[in-house]
Structure 1
Amino acid sequence: MFSTKRAFAGVALATGAALALAGCAGGSESSGELDPDEEVTLDLAFWGNDVRADLYNQVIDAFEEEYPNITVNSTFLGYPEFWEKRQTEAAGGNLPDVMQFDYSYLRQYSENGLLLDLDQFLGGIIATDPLPDNILSIGVVGGTTYGIPTSTNAWGMYTNPTLLDEVGVDEFAGGSWDDYNDWMGEVADASGGEVFGGSDWTGRIQNFEVQLRSEGSYLFSDDGEAGFDEARLAEFWESGAGIREDGSVIAQQTLEEVAPLSGFGAALTVSELTWDNFGGGYLAELGEAYPELGLIAPPVTVEGAQDLYLKPSMLHSIAANTEYPEASATLVDFLINSEASGEIFGTNRGLPASETALAAAELDPLSQQIADYEASIADRLGDAPPVPINGYGTLEEKFRQLGTELGFGTITVDEAVSQFFGEMDVILG
């Protein structure tokens, strides 16, 4: 499926150079308390569409009613345009006071001194009781909190129960990656090659990460060190050779033909390993013929391992150049923790990370299914990995491209490994 974020990932390297020039902006000093008599005007920026803008306006109205001394001016853009605008503002040292933030850019902006240290507000202006420790830790870079998650998602497996009934195969009962491969083969056999169990899961770097985490390792450390060598990556890609060759998974050529739909969205596969917040898009693609989704945990590499984690759908951060740190922190707390934010936003920004906001949100059936799923994998949830290294988006896309070439058979596993490590050398220096 085409991703606007993926298309914009290539801009990250050029952006990093521009931000380096704007670095060391320094953080605003805070008294730790909001002055209720000081008249303040804050700028708030977010990405989204008219629907999200209307929701933000409603929340801002509720905020200004509670804090009549604070006026909030909001602006929004599409995702690529949002980051282009932030790059220009960062170079001039005039970022908006409060920003909706993406996990992929948190390290880049924080390490260049562009974001405010939020630790000074935690437990004070920004309430922490509604935010579990594993949620708060997501926004930490180098030991300092620079972002507060608005919402969370987790890696999972969507299935199509109606299509499985048509094929005559039961839902995947769980088990190892080999068990999953066998189940996908059963689907392909039962359908006579008309429907497939899934796609080649070795083309997604997240599945590699799940396996590494189960082994006590990681993709990349906080310092940008890889947690795997050439042999381990080769082993991972080799593990997909069987399903690529025996027809258990949908052919790469077919995926190209149905793009921008995925095989799952086109009802040609019965399962898809992906982030759990993709469900709404799948339902829209599948239409009335397939009105429900299954959502289950990914295959297990090592029993009892905490291989999964919650990551933020998005965060809120404060610019280091803000003149009003206390008021900005008050707005961030309201946008994340207030009952009003839960009631108004619902799941527009993802499943609310704050227990207060979540309790106030009216969940539709899919959102409730996602909430139940994330509760069901509690034993498999470990600490989130470090905030993505600079250039992670480029490496993720390279991994996907090499997976596509392996699917076409135009490259060997050894060649793919060599190319990926060559890319890592360039990105990581």
Structure 2
Amino acid sequence: MGHQISRRTLFRTASGLAVAGALGPALTACAGGTGAGSDNGSLTMTWWGSDERHAAYKKALATFEKNNPKIKIETRYSGYDGYFDKFNTQVAGGSAPDLLQMDTALVAQYARKGILAPLDSYVGNSLDLTGFSKTLLAAGTVDGKLYGVPSGIGVNQLTVNRSGLEKLGLKLPDREWTWNDLKDIATQVHKKSGGRIHGVDDGGGSTLQCFEIFAREKGQPFFSDDGKKLGFTADTLQEWWEFWASMRKDQASPPPAITSAAHNDLTKNAVVIGKALFTFDSGVYGAGGSITDAQLDFLPTPQGDFSGAREGNFVNGGVLLSATKASKKTADSVKIMDFFAQDPTAIEDMRLLRGIPPTEKARSLISAGLNETDRRNMAMADYISQRVAKATNALPAPVPPPKGADQIWDLLFESNLAVAFGKKTIKAQLSEFFDQAQNILAG
């Protein structure tokens, strides 16, 4: 119930990551607004998500209102599609909500346009962020100020059909695995299955879940700090595409027709349809549950195989809770943020519906009530976040995606397909990719 099959929509719902859309020039002038919230004096709160997330929010907020009878909350919720279009219209008309669920990919754009309220003066007073790591809080921090409280730990990991592996007599790889280890196990899957199953879906065009980490392992971010150019080199992308060309040649990854069909439809994902046992698409198991009956497990994105490889994994903040600057109820909105961050009732009501809980306290509170797959999912996210925190050679967390990022992510996917279908050579596609990407960022 509540499932939305769009690949991007499910990924956003589960982890908060999304493409960075244009906000429109009219919003700058209206950022101060003439007021926000409900005409009847209630505090208005909006969010997007599945039916399960809606129900959990409403249950938790009922408890908050019982404990804070002077604060009345009017809730508005929807799916992700159209959520920010509606918010933009409300901001322009001076009727923005007081408190909203914010996307980590968009927080910088809204903060810099003066639409969101800085929260720093509340931290340590009415907003208790004990247990939140600096890395995690960075997801809601723009130009040194906090504009959003992270809901959870968002990590990039592979989803694995563990039962399928076991049927072939293969074991789940070690967590400290490499790209060569991935190629080895994926090749074994194809061989052991008699050619019926490929090992892993084609990651050559997968940006957020794998190429960005591969580039970071070489010390190269996806975007430059100012967002005006790409942060990785042509040599890095060439090596990436050559790796996946080799994977397709060895049947370790499926042919391009399967990859193309699954791009915006998770029901056609290679793991879901039984054509692969490993997938980079985290939407297969997210906030709405699983869309496959297979017994699942999880692994970090592989590490670099070369000397001097850096930690490429990173942690993002799930979704955020932010207050609008025009609101006259910011102090009350902060109380609600604090409630979701620290109150045991709210933590238990939300469970994994806004991502893996952000603190050790919260994760401990919910662990006993989780099913086996949820526990594995949470344990892997916890493992990755601890590994990133301990790493001395990791890059800083990625900067918020610039305007046009969604077009570049799509361009990477389509470019990999052009190579896979044999329409372009890798070198020809490299030149075209960098030219088009730079034009997008310059626009």
Question: 2:31, 2:92 within 8 Å by CA — same for their partners in 1?
Answer: no
User: Which residue pairs with 2:381 in the alignment?
Assistant: 374
Displacement of 1:72 after TM fit?
Answer: 0.8
> 1: distance between equivalents of 2:11 and 2:381?
29
For the residue of structure 2 that corresponds to 1:16, the secondary structure is: coil
In structure 2, the partner of 1:306 is 311
Residues 334-358 of structure 1 deviation map (CA, whole Å, 9 limit, x = unaligned): 1232212112111122211144433
The residue that corresponds to 1:163 in the other structure is 164
Cα deviations by residue, 1:244-275 (Å, 9 ceiling, x for unpaired): 22322111123456754200111211111244
Label 1:22 to 1:367 Cα distance change in 2 as closer, same or farther (>3 A): farther
Tell me whether 1:222 sits opposite 2:225 in the alignment. Answer: yes
Q: Describe the shift of the 1:76–1:10 C-alpha distance in structure 2 as closer, same or farther (beyond 3 A).
A: closer
Q: 1:169-184, aligned counterparts within 5 Å?
A: 169-173=170-174, 175-184=177-186
Q: Is the 2:19–2:405 contact (alpha carbons within 8 Å) kept by the matching residues of 1?
A: no
Measured in 2, the distance between the counterparts of 1:10 and 1:76 equals 18
Equivalents in 2 of 1:282, 1:21: separation in Å? 35
Deviations 1:12-44 (A, max 9, x none): 55x43345544653899xxxxxxxxxx963110
What is the CA-CA distance between 1:306 and the residue it aligns to? 2.5
Partner of 1:406: 419
Q: Which residue of 2 aligns with 1:273?
A: 280
The TM-score, its normalising length taken from structure 2, stands at 0.85
Deviation at 1:149, TM superposition (A): 0.8
> Equivalent of 1:293, from 274, 292, 296?
296
Q: Give the structure 1 partner of residue 431 of structure 2.
A: 418
- The alpha carbon displacement at 1:112 in A equals 1.1
Q: How does 1:21-420 map to 2 (within 5 A)?
A: 21-22=28-29, 24-25=31-32, 41-173=42-174, 175-206=177-208, 207-224=210-227, 225-256=229-260, 260-275=267-282, 278-280=284-286, 284-287=290-293, 290=294, 292-301=295-304, 305-361=310-366, 362-377=369-384, 378-381=386-389, 382=394, 383-420=396-433
**Which amino acid in structure 1 is aligned with residue 292 of structure 2?**
L
What whole-Å deviation, never above 9, does each CA across 1:134-161 have from its counterpart, x for those lacking one?
A: 2112211122111111112211122212
Q: Aligned letter for 1:417?
A: L
With normalisation by structure 1, the TM-score equals 0.87
Residues 1:49 and 1:171: Cα distance change in structure 2 (over 3 Å):
closer
Q: 1:175 to 1:55 in 2, by over 3 A?
A: closer
Contact kept, 8 Å, 2:190 with 2:252, in 1: the verdict is: yes
Give the corresponding residue for 1:35. none
**5+ long unaligned stretches in structure 2:** none
For the aligned residue pairs, the C-alpha RMSD in angstroms reads 2.9
Contact 2:419-2:425 at 8 Å conserved across structures: yes
Q: Is the 8 A contact 1:40 1:70 kept in 2?
A: no
Contact 1:196-1:269 at 8 Å conserved across structures: yes
CA distance in 1, matches of 2:297, 2:156: 14
* Counterpart-to-counterpart distance in 2, 1:148 and 1:10: 17
**C-alpha distance in 2, partners of 1:192/1:218?**
39
In structure 1, how many angstroms separate the alpha carbons of the residues matched to 2:313 and 2:370? 24
**Whole-Å Cα distance in 2 between the matches of residues 6 and 161 of structure 1?**
22
Moved more, 294-303 or 71-80: 294-303
What is the identity, as a one-letter code, of the residue corresponding to 1:273? F
* Matched residue SS, 2:313: coil
Decide whether aligned partners of structure 1 residues 124 and 283 sit closer, same or farther in structure 2, where only a CA change above 3 A counts: closer
Amino acid at match of 2:291: E
Which one is further off, 234-243 or 319-328? 234-243
Cα displacement (A) at 1:304? 7.1
Whole-angstrom distance in 2 between the partners of 1:162 and 1:339: 34
Once the two structures are TM-superposed, the CA of residue 317 in structure 1 deviates from its matched residue by 0.6
Aligned partners of 1:219 and 1:337: how far apart in 2?
Answer: 34
Cα distance change, pair 332–24 in 1 and its aligned pair in 2 (3 A): same
- Take 1:399 and 1:44, find their aligned partners in 2: how far apart are those partners? 36
- Measured in 1, the distance between the counterparts of 2:18 and 2:64 equals 37
- CA distance in structure 2 between the partners assigned to 1:176 and 1:115 by the alignment: 41
CA drift at 1:96: 0.5
- Counterpart of 1:427 in structure 2 is 440
Mapped partners of 1:11, 1:218: distance in 2: 17
3-state secondary structure, aligned to 1:240: helix
- The letter for the 2-side match of 1:293 is L
SS in 2 for 1:172: coil
Partners of 1:19 and 1:87 within 8 A in 2 = no
What's the offset of the Cα at 1:189?
1.6
